[in-house]
Amino acid sequence: MPAPYYVSPEQIMQEKEDFARKGIEKAKEVIVLEYRDGILMVAENPLATVFKISEIYDRIALAATGLYPDYEALRYAGIQGAEIKGFTFNREDVTARWLANQYSQQIGAIYRQPDVKPLEVELLLCEIREDSSSKNRIYHLSFDGTFWEDNEYTVIGGRAEEIAGILENEYSASLDLSDAVKLAARTFAAVETEVDEADRYQVTAETIEAAVLDETRNRRKFRRLLPDELSEMLSA
Amino acid sequence: MVFSRSDHRTSDFLELLQRERPELLSRFGTGAGGTTSLPDSSPANWKGQHLPTSSVMDLYDNLLEGTTILAAVYNEGVIVAGDRQATAGFQVGERRIRKVYEVDTYSAIAIAGVAGPAMEMAKLFQVQVEFYEKIEGSPLSLEGKANSLSNMVKSNLPMAMQGLVVVPIFAGYDLKRKQGKIFKYDAIGGQYEESEYYATGSGGKDAQATLKKLYSADMPRDSALKLVAEALWDAADEDVATGGPDFIREIFPTIKIIDSTGISDIPDSEVKALYTELLDRLRS
């Protein structure tokens, strides 16, 4: 019987990390911005069938990028966990901090399991503030289960650093909604100019997906921005 | 899958709870073959010799009962309303209870019968509808929501057999057919669509009589609101369990209205004005 090859734990983890990073490098980006009345999420997404941004709970939304089946499973699990918790206790007991920890545990557990493909995902779990005395929360989750908090603006996906670099100069606090949408679209268009003309992504109201967590709404703060609304904002 | 005990994926919250947290569903969702926490006290098992003891009867007398609820279609949508009283035996159990709940942007549920399980059913139904919408990315059809409520009433059958009846009214705006719709249920989950108006609960018959006399198809919003207020007034006038408008404590019936723009509450000030006008008319 041949002896099994010895592979050091460092090498196993390194290979997993390389694998996950490679997957995410190919992924389209999602920009999340805090604006005057809440949190805006914008993704490059030419498909009207598959969403990168979704409602999780009353004040919580998930923006995801990477491999669709992977983040879709996490989205489902998030809604399921949140609804069961809210039904068991109270709706206000469901918080993004709790959910970010759940996600972290699950993603981390899969990452550490031997012979299991790590999840090729990068997530932003957004929670709008309850009232003016609290603040918005944006939890940034990585493929290995680690997470940290971002604020003002943040980006996930392949060219995240480049896009964040642009936003660093352009972003200002208390933008109104249409200015925030324009800023996101402009930023996407700016990184696209570096792509070969043939492969360039056309940023229009039909090819971006956008949603908000809007403080002025009733219990359910999440709302998708419809293509008509987006084109009006972009052309204004 | 992550967070859950199995890999099965569903957009049905009731099914999810049955699988993940059956202990939360002591009353609902146990299904036809399910168990109930009071197995031997159903009337079918009484047969003369096993009549409930007096302490069980006392328990029944002390349960809160929701009284009158109604719904009426008008030319742009549908109105759902209910009084604010719950009755325990011959006592006023609760003066400010709410029996009409928003389900989603285009529908509402009103509940009559034993208040505890009824409110629980309304809460569960609201989560059921919202869960589907979030998982699937598009809402259930109005009829789909109505059918799902029917299943919930059906699963309450063992409780209904013991006299713990829950009867909801479900109403909403059908975006496809561009009209308001009403669905009524019987105690065992039978579901029937009403095209004009419906009232149920202890004062349901009285409210229904008023609606029958004064209702006309294609009523505009304002006259429909007046009619609904008057029907609830008559229910409170004839039925001892139903609460009327309470000008001393400033408690007024709940009225919600649903049209193509979504659901909204008629504010207390407007309901108060409706009753002030009605009382002036009745005095003159």
The pLDDT of residue B190: 94
> What topology does CATH give the domain A25-235?
Glutamine Phosphoribosylpyrophosphate, subunit 1, domain 1 (3.60.20)
**CB contact set of A69 (below 8 Å; sequence gap of 6+):** none
Q: Contact at 8 Å (CB) between B246 and B233?
A: no
Calculate the alpha carbon distances from B184 to A84, A171, B118, B191 in Å. 28, 54, 14, 6
Question: What residue has token string 């557990």?
Answer: A109
B261 counts as catalytic: no
Q: Can you give the pLDDT at residue B53?
A: 65
Q: Kindly report, residue by residue over B215-263, the tens digit of the pLDDT.
A: 998 999 999 999 999 999 999 999 999 999 999 999 999 999 999 999 9
Contacts of B101 in chain A (CB under 8 A): none
* Angle at alpha carbon of residue A140, lines to A134 and A142, rounded to 5°: 160
Rounded to a whole number of angstroms, the distance from the CA of A55 to the nearest CA of chain B is: 7
Contacts of A221 in chain B (CB under 8 A): none
Strand partners, A189: none
Q: Is the pLDDT of residue A143 over 50?
A: yes
Least confident range from A1-5, A85-89, A137-141, B46-50: namely B46-50
- Say which DSSP state B138 is in: S
Q: Is there a contact between B116 and A79 (Cβ–Cβ < 8 Å)? A: no
pLDDT of residue B37: 44
Q: With an 8 Å Cβ cutoff, is B134 touching chain A? A: yes
Instruction: Report in angstroms the alpha-carbon separations of B145 from A148, A199, B106, B127, B142.
Output: 40, 45, 11, 11, 5
Across the range A156-164, mean pLDDT stands at 93
Task: Decide if B127 and A76 are in contact by the 8 Å CB cutoff.
Answer: no
DSSP string, chain A: -PPPPP--HHHHHHHHHHHHHHHHHTSPPEEEEEETTEEEEEEE---SSS-SEEEEETTEEEEEEE-HHHHHHHHHHHHHHHHHHHHHS-GGG--HHHHHHHHHHHHHHHHHSTT-PPP-EEEEEEE--SSTTS--EEEEE-TTS-EEEE-SEEEESTTHHHHHHHHHHH--TT--HHHHHHHHHHHHHHHHTTS-GGGPPP--TTTEEEEEEETTSSS--EEEEPHHHHHHHHH-
Which residues neighbour B27 within 8 Å (Cβ) at sequence distance 6 or greater? B36, B117, B120, B156, B159
Euclidean distance between CA atoms B2 and B19, whole angstroms: 15
Confidence band for B38, pLDDT divided at 50, 70 and 90: very low
Q: Give the span between the Cα atoms of A155 and A33, in whole angstroms.
A: 9
User: Mean pLDDT score of chain B, rounded to an integer?
Assistant: 88
pLDDT in tens, B116-173: 999 999 999 999 999 999 999 999 999 999 999 999 999 888 888 888 899 999 999 9
Exposure letters B70-105 (e unless 16+ CB within 10 A, then b): bbbbbebbbbbbbbbbbbbeeeebbeebebbbbbbb
Q: In the structure encoding, which two tokens stand for residue A28, read together?
A: 């389209």
Question: Which band of pLDDT confidence, cut at 50, 70 and 90, is reported for residue A194?
Answer: confident
Nearest residue on chain A to B121, alpha-carbon basis: A87
Q: How would residue A193 be classed by pLDDT, with cut points 50, 70 and 90?
A: confident
B69-109 tens-digit pLDDT: 999 999 999 999 999 999 998 899 999 999 999 999 999 99
Of the pLDDT bands very low, low, confident and very high (cuts 50, 70, 90), residue B59 is confident
**Number of A–B residue contacts, CB under 8 Å:** 45
Any idea where the domains of chain A sit in the sequence?
A: 25-235
Close Cβ partners of A47 (under 8 Å, ≥ 6 residues apart): none
For residues A66-73, average pLDDT: 93
- Rounded mean pLDDT, B187-191: 92
Task: For residue B134, list chain A residues with Cβ-Cβ distance below 8 A.
Answer: 54-56, 79
pLDDT of B6 reads 55
CA distance A47 to A130: 32
Q: Kindly tell me if the per-residue pLDDT of B28 is higher than 70.
A: no
**Does residue B201 have a pLDDT over 60?**
yes
**Residue B272's pLDDT is what?**
97
Banded pLDDT at B199 (limits 50, 70, 90): very high
Q: How far apart are CA A139 and CA A148, in angstroms?
A: 6
pLDDT of residue B39: 45
CA distance A13 to A9: 6
pLDDT, chain A, mean: 92
- Asked whether B158 and B189 are in contact (CB, 8 A), the reply is no
Amino acid letter for position B220 = P
Report DSSP state, residue B248.
Answer: T
C-alpha B32/C-alpha A176 separation (Å) is 54
For range A8-37, the mean pLDDT: 92
How does residue B23 score in pLDDT terms, banded at 50, 70 and 90?
A: confident
First to last CA, chain B: 68
More confident residue, B181 or B8: B181
Band (B33; pLDDT cuts 50, 70, 90) = very low
Beta bridge partners of B179: B174
Q: Categorize the per-residue pLDDT at A80 as very low, low, confident or very high, splitting at 50, 70 and 90.
A: very high
Query: pLDDT-derived band of residue B55, with 50, 70 and 90 as boundaries?
Result: confident
CB nearest to A83's CB, from B2, B13, B137: B13
Pick B4's closest partner by Cβ from A56, A80, A87: A80
Among the four given CATH numbers 3.40.50.300, 3.30.160.60, 3.40.50.970, 3.60.20.10, the one describing domain B61-283: 3.60.20.10
- DSSP class of residue B52 equals P
Q: Are B137 and A54 a contacting pair at CB < 8 A?
A: yes
Query: What is the Cα–Cα distance from A196 to A26, expressed in whole angstroms?
Result: 16
- Phi–psi pair at B260, nearest 5 degrees: -65, -20
The pLDDT value given to residue A176? 94
**Catalytic-role residue among B30, B67, B210, B254:** B67
Q: Is A19 near chain B, with CB under 8 Å?
A: no
pLDDT band at residue B43 using 50, 70 and 90 as cut-offs: low
Instruction: Give the pLDDT score at B34.
Output: 43
Is residue B40 scored above 60 in pLDDT?
A: no
